[in-house]
Each structure stands twice: as C-alpha cells, then as structure tokens.
Structure 1
Amino acid sequence: MKLINEKLKNNVLASMMTIIDKNRETLLSANKKDLDAFQKDDQALYDRLVVNDAKIDEMINAISEVKNQTDPVSKEISRRELDNGLKIINKTAPFGTIMIIYESRPDVTIEAAVLAFKANNKILLKGGKEAYHSNKILVKFWHDALRANNLETDWIKMLELNREETQAFLKNPTEPIDLIVPRGGERLIQFVKENASCAVLVSGRGNNFLYVAEDADWKKTLEVIINAKTDKISGCNALDKVLIDKHIPNYEAKLNELKEVLEASKVNIIVDSEVKKTLSSTTEIENEAIWFEEFLAMKIAIGAVENMDEAISKINKYSGGHSSAILTESTEKAAHFMENIDSAAVYHNASTRFTDGGQMGVGAELAISTDKLHHRGPLGLKQLVTNKYYVYGDGHVRV
C-alpha cells in the first residue's frame, strides 16, 4: 500500500473539518431521516444515533486531535547490529485495510476513518441500517476531502450490505482485508467471528463490575456508583453490577442507602438472594444468565460476597473483560484486586466511565479492545499500526 506523507494526510483532515463545519445543516437533515425512521424501543441505541451541533463539534474536535498527533507510521521501534554485521531495524507499518462493523453511531464514521487514514490504512465502514443516511453523507464528506487533495476515494469506503451480503463478504471478501473490528453487542461479535476469514479484533461488551470492599469510603462509593451507572447508559464503560462485601460496617444500612440513592436516580435494581434478605422489596435475580448480561439501560444488579477473592472469581467469570473497579482505602487490597482481575481496564476508587480514549489521553479511538492481541483497551492512532523488520546486509548468507 502506498505511503502518504504526513502533510498530505493532515491536509485531508483539515479539509474534512471545514467541510463538516460548513455543511452542518445537511448532516443534521440526514440524521433527522434516521431518527424519524427509528423505533424508540431501544433508548441506548437511539441515544447513540443522535447527531446535534454539540456532536458535530465533537466530530470536528476528534479530527483535530488526530491531525495534531504524530504520524505513527515508519517509526523506529528497535535497532541492532548483529555480530555477523547484519543491521536489523524494526519499524511501525500500516495494517493495510481495516473493516469496522458497528451499530447506530455516526460519530464512529468519523473516528474510525480519521484514525485509519492517519495511520495510512484503508477502511471499510459497515454501519448499521439505522444510521444509513447519516453515514452516507459523512462518507460523502470524506470523499470530498480526499478529492480536494487529489487522492483516490477508496481510502474510505462505505459498505452498503444487508446481513446475508455481509456474511458472504466476510467469508469471501472481494478485496483484501487485514483486520476486522466488530463494535457492538454479543450477537454482532459472534456473527463476525463465525464468518470472518481474517484476523478479528473484538471490541467486546461492557458488563462492568464494581466491588465494594469492607473498608471502602462510603461517600466515595455512592458517588462512583451513581456516576458509573447513570452518566451515560449507552456507553460500553457503564456500570452494570455491584458486589458488596458482607463484612462492611453497617452492611444493611448501607445497602438501604444505596437503594435509595439509585432509586432517586430512577435506576431499576435487581438483587441476589443474599441482598434480597435486606432489600426485600427489590426483584430477585432468578437466572444466572443475568450476570453475563450487559444492560445498556437504567438497571443495575447488586450481589453480596464474603470476601475479595469471591468478588474476583465472580467478576472474572461473568464480566465482559472491559472495565472493573474496587472501592477500598487499602492500596494493598487495590493492588491485589487489580492484578488478579482479567479486564482491559481496572480501577481503584474511580468510575468505569473513564475507559475512553479521550479520557485516558489516547485521543479518538477506533474501539475499546477486550482482546489481548495485538492490543487491549482503547485503540487509538498508535495502536492502528503493526510492525516490519528491515534487514540490511552485504551479501550475507546463513551458514
């Protein structure tokens, strides 16, 4: 794949920022078509679909942030000269072509494309049908920006395929694909894994857990739980499950206070059989599958555990491997918890809502990876490259 110099890439991004800003009404009109056609039975999906002036400002800002980041391609990782005289240099290199499959969010059409392009990758955008008009106009904007800088439009391409056509494309791509990133629910991820013929990097479900240790500061605990649960229910970093140590002082009183605070924020509470003994008016969890579920709603599950090791075991069994938190005043307990939890991000006395490229200093993100290869956590610009070895000899042969 041809390498584009950083100045030209940045010129494209500057053009795109101008085009979006000048064509706000066109984008808002396209988004209105999507919103009008959407059945509002899924509030989280609807929230993700909305484009307004504030969201457009965020899109422009995301492009600006990536534009200001250093080009990640052809950066030296290591250099060595062997005893036999061979010089070996390892440098970053583009993946090639990335395909992203996502639901609802038009802003992904901006963030995925800007990151892939700046990292010198082509990108195939397969958005959900619910955001068709929004995505269509945004890709047109991208093509206008590319043409304005004398580049081919195939750097950024929108795939208009139904489910059956997508399945066929994944099994037998009509063009080379080096990496697929499914960004959505469990069913989407499973569909891609079952049908893809190349590497898949999973942006997994949230289903994030928070463990309240027996020495937790209760004021901090309430503030963190409310923020993690209610700040943005459609976020994959939202909180779904709370595990409370049964040996926390004033256990019953604190459970009742937590219930009051959550209900005041209009959060629906379900509980395990142990918590039900104290919170008798709440609904009891009757199906183990609930512990695996990502809610994406104003809903939370509360359970009781005997100790931290039980909490760790339960989290590692049921969570999506995205974000997990502990509330404790002990740095030693926090360290034990964080080292033994198998999640992309682990927190001590902080909301899971910080698992986000912008919040973590990464900038715009393609997704939050819950895989372990080749990267885990926010996939920012620096994570959208692979590597290549450059070996320099002088007639060397291996003997």
Structure 2
Amino acid sequence: MKLNQQTHNMELISTDKKNAVLKSMARILDEMRGEIIAENKKDLDAFDPNDRAMYDRLIVNDAKVDGMISAVNQVHDMPDPVGKVLADRTLDNGLHIQNKTAPFGTILIIYESRPDVTIEAAVLAFKANSKILLKGGKEAKNSNIILEKAWHKALEENGLKTDWIRLMTLPREETQAFLRNPSEQLDLIVPRGGERLISFVKEHAQCPVLVSGRGNNFLYVDKEADWNKTLEVILNAKTDKISACNALDKILIDENLPEYKQKVVELNTILREAGVEVLADEHVAELDSDSIKVENEDTWYEEFLAMKSVVATVDSLENAIETINKYSGGHSSTIMTSNNDRAAKFMEQIDSAAVYQNASTRFTDGGAMGVGAELAISTDKLHHRGPLGLDQLVTNKYYVYGDGQVR
C-alpha cells in the first residue's frame, strides 16, 4: 500500500522535556530581543501605517517581547494537557476502558500581521504535543522568520528536531495548492482571518477546520440599565482596542429606557468626542442629525475594526435577541441591565461564544478569561467554542485493555 502523503507517528515528549524547551525559549527571546525588534522594523517600514488596525497588530516593541516571554512562561507553568484520564471503567466482561486526552498531530494555523501569534500558537501546540505549521502573513515575514529561528534554537538545545515548529512562507497561490493537496497529513486547520480566507479553507481542507470567527459584537441597553455603567462599558468595548475581534460594533438601545431620547443623543456625542463615527438606524438618525444613516443592510453584518459604530433602536428584549442572532458573528454579546431575569433570557437565547451581563466584550480573550495564552477564539460549535487554550488543544483516544475477550 503506497501513501501519497507523508504519514506521521506521534512521538510523545515528556512534560519535563517540553518544559525545558519552553524555559530555553523564554531565555532566547530575551537574548534575541534587539534582533527581533530590528527585524520587525523592516516589516513596519514596508507597511502602510494608514491601515491603523493592521499596523497596531504588526508592531513588536519591548513590551510585546515581554508579552511573548510571559506567554511562554505561563504555558510552562500549566499542567500538561496530554494523557489526562477523562473516563475509566471496567465492564462486566472484564475489559478495562480508559478515555484519555491525546495530541491532534499536526496543526496548521493561518493568520495575518500579529507576530505574537507565532509565539502563542506554537507554545500551545508544542505543550499539547502537536506539530504546528505557522502560515503568517507576508507583511510580518521578517518578524516571523526571526521568531522561528528562536524556536529552532530552543528545540535544538534540548535535542529535538526543528520540525515541531515550522513557518510556511509560501505565497498565496502555493498555500492554496497546499490546502487542496497537502504534502503531509494535517489534523486540524485554524484560519484566523477574514470571511474570504475562512470560506476558502472550509471549501478545500481535507481535515477538520476550527474557525476563529469574526467579531461584529453587539451590546443591548435594556430599559433597566444603569446608564453611567453603560456609557463606561460602551466606551471601553468600542475604543480600547479597535483591532481586536472582541471590540464592539453595534449598540441597540431599548426605546423604553427612561429619558431615551436624551440618552441616545448623549451617547452619540460621547462616542464622537472619543473619535468614533456614529452610524444610525432611521429612529436614531431622527433624534441625532449629526449621525450618518445606515443605507445598506450589509453594514449590519460588518465587523468594523475601526473607530465606527452603529447605534440603533429596538422596542423589546425579544427584538434585540432576534436582531443580534441575525447579524452578529457569533462572537460576543452584552446586555446592560439590572434585571437578572431578562439578563438570563438574553444570555440563554443569544447564539454567541460569550454572552455578558453588565461587562465589556473586550474580556473575550484567553488571558482575560483566565484560560492563559490562546490559539484562537472559536465561533464554531465543534469541538470547542470561545478562547481555545491549552486544555482545548487536545483530542481524545480510548485505551482498551483485555485478556482475550471476543464479541
């Protein structure tokens, strides 16, 4: 039997050995700090700074290197996710059956601009005993090459092959050809990017795809919302980091909110003062002549990644739930209310990976949710939803111990 693909035997590395690699890596990142920042400068010099969201993601400075080191140290300190016993039973026929966590094998992650993903994705995959192929964007090529060099140093220092962590620097056409007909077995693909990338990968992948979904996050202001808290949460969710997939895009205000008209105008004024362009549905546009009316329904589906937001009116909780489930990216949704029954209904019925009561959507993040470094934020329902941390980066396997039993 001839295989047209390279098959892989998944060698299990001991926890001590994996942690030794991570210890080396933390030190090497610090030693190579100057080189890493210099290589990143080449990428920044070639990039258009007017694309602010993308430019912000591309920057590597001292603080970013510190963040990379801390991500490596954090994963070093976490328990090994492989080989955990999920279930253990002995049947009447004497078979002893254990279900244990097991590595995926080889993971391909496709991402743009952010060089810190080259550290975060690889540290998680490696600790979870999977090989990883890193397909970064061409805009971060120099940064990624130097970071791969650091990984290879850490692996070699500990007597491991460098093929555990590899950068793919193929141009787009060759990457597409690789996805259609991979030259080696892939067990999981994680596309982190726009709709076009995700649909291309889903169409051509020969293995499971875990979608790191778009944002397009919603916040609903219920009639029993605390208005001061609401303003603080909206400002944070919208303006704290516009390049993040957990930033806020759409704000729905219940028309039954006391002093509804004044509050809409106050909110829009505060948003504009913070530099946010306010788009409005017809009701809000009537109340606030400085807002820009949404003319195209596509805007409702759009993740902005920019200083703009839609402010619109709903007449009930049910109307808010229906609107959010129709247009959102299934990432994060917030209700601002002091009524816990309505909050519970909202949180149960909204189809998002993370639902909030009285808090900013900006917390949908591995670190902020206490999961640690994350590979992605999944908006898929299989096999995990939300921040994909170390414990979610494994599959499972049944170990069955017998003594000649036949069925």
Q: TM-score range by the shorter chain?
A: over 0.9
| Cross-structure match for 2:6 | none
The alignment's C-alpha RMSD in Å is 0.6
Following the alignment from structure 1 to structure 2, what is the Cα–Cα distance between the partners of residues 255 and 11?
Answer: 56
| Cross-structure match for 1:41 | 50
| Cross-structure match for 1:228 | 237
Residue type of the alignment partner of 1:294: E
Matched, 1:316 2:325: yes
Q: How big is each residue's C-alpha offset from its partner over 1:353-384, in whole Å with a ceiling of 9 and x where there is no partner?
A: 00000010100000000000000000000000
Aligned residues: 398
Deviation at 1:393, TM superposition (A): 1.1
Q: SS of 1:359's equivalent?
A: coil
| Cross-structure match for 1:199 | 208
| Cross-structure match for 1:164 | 173
Following the alignment from structure 1 to structure 2, what is the Cα–Cα distance between the partners of residues 193 and 38?
Answer: 29
Following the alignment from structure 1 to structure 2, what is the Cα–Cα distance between the partners of residues 167 and 266?
Answer: 39
| Cross-structure match for 1:260 | 269
Residue type of the alignment partner of 2:62: D
Following the alignment from structure 1 to structure 2, what is the Cα–Cα distance between the partners of residues 233 and 155?
Answer: 34
| Cross-structure match for 1:151 | 160
Matched, 1:340 2:355: no
Following the alignment from structure 2 to structure 1, what is the Cα–Cα distance between the partners of residues 86 and 50?
Answer: 49
Q: SS of 1:277's equivalent?
A: helix
Within-5 A mapping of 1:287-302: 287-302=296-311
Correspondence for 2:89 among 80, 104, 111: 80
Within-5 A mapping of 1:33-182: 33-182=42-191
**Most deviating of 363-372 and 83-92:** 83-92
Following the alignment from structure 1 to structure 2, what is the Cα–Cα distance between the partners of residues 282 and 352?
Answer: 24
Q: How big is each residue's C-alpha offset from its partner over 1:313-335, in whole Å with a ceiling of 9 and x where there is no partner?
A: 11011000000000000111100
Residue type of the alignment partner of 1:353: R
Following the alignment from structure 1 to structure 2, what is the Cα–Cα distance between the partners of residues 253 and 197?
Answer: 55
Deviation at 1:40, TM superposition (A): 2.2
Following the alignment from structure 2 to structure 1, what is the Cα–Cα distance between the partners of residues 330 and 145?
Answer: 33
Following the alignment from structure 2 to structure 1, what is the Cα–Cα distance between the partners of residues 233 and 92?
Answer: 56
Within-5 A mapping of 1:272-291: 272-291=281-300
Moved over 6 A (4+): none
Following the alignment from structure 1 to structure 2, what is the Cα–Cα distance between the partners of residues 167 and 154?
Answer: 21
TM-score normalised per structure 2 = 0.97
Correspondence for 2:33 among 14, 24, 27: 24
Correspondence for 1:6 among 3, 12, 15: 15
TM-score normalised per structure 1 = 0.99
Following the alignment from structure 1 to structure 2, what is the Cα–Cα distance between the partners of residues 191 and 280?
Answer: 41
Residue type of the alignment partner of 1:342: D
Residue type of the alignment partner of 2:97: I
Deviation at 1:41, TM superposition (A): 3.3
Deviation at 1:282, TM superposition (A): 1.0
Q: Which runs of 5+ in 2 are unaligned?
A: 1-9
| Cross-structure match for 1:211 | 220
| Cross-structure match for 1:390 | 399
Following the alignment from structure 1 to structure 2, what is the Cα–Cα distance between the partners of residues 369 and 212?
Answer: 26
Identity rate, percent: 67
Following the alignment from structure 1 to structure 2, what is the Cα–Cα distance between the partners of residues 41 and 230?
Answer: 17
Following the alignment from structure 1 to structure 2, what is the Cα–Cα distance between the partners of residues 383 and 238?
Answer: 24
Matched, 1:357 2:392: no
Q: Which runs of 5+ in 1 are unaligned?
A: none
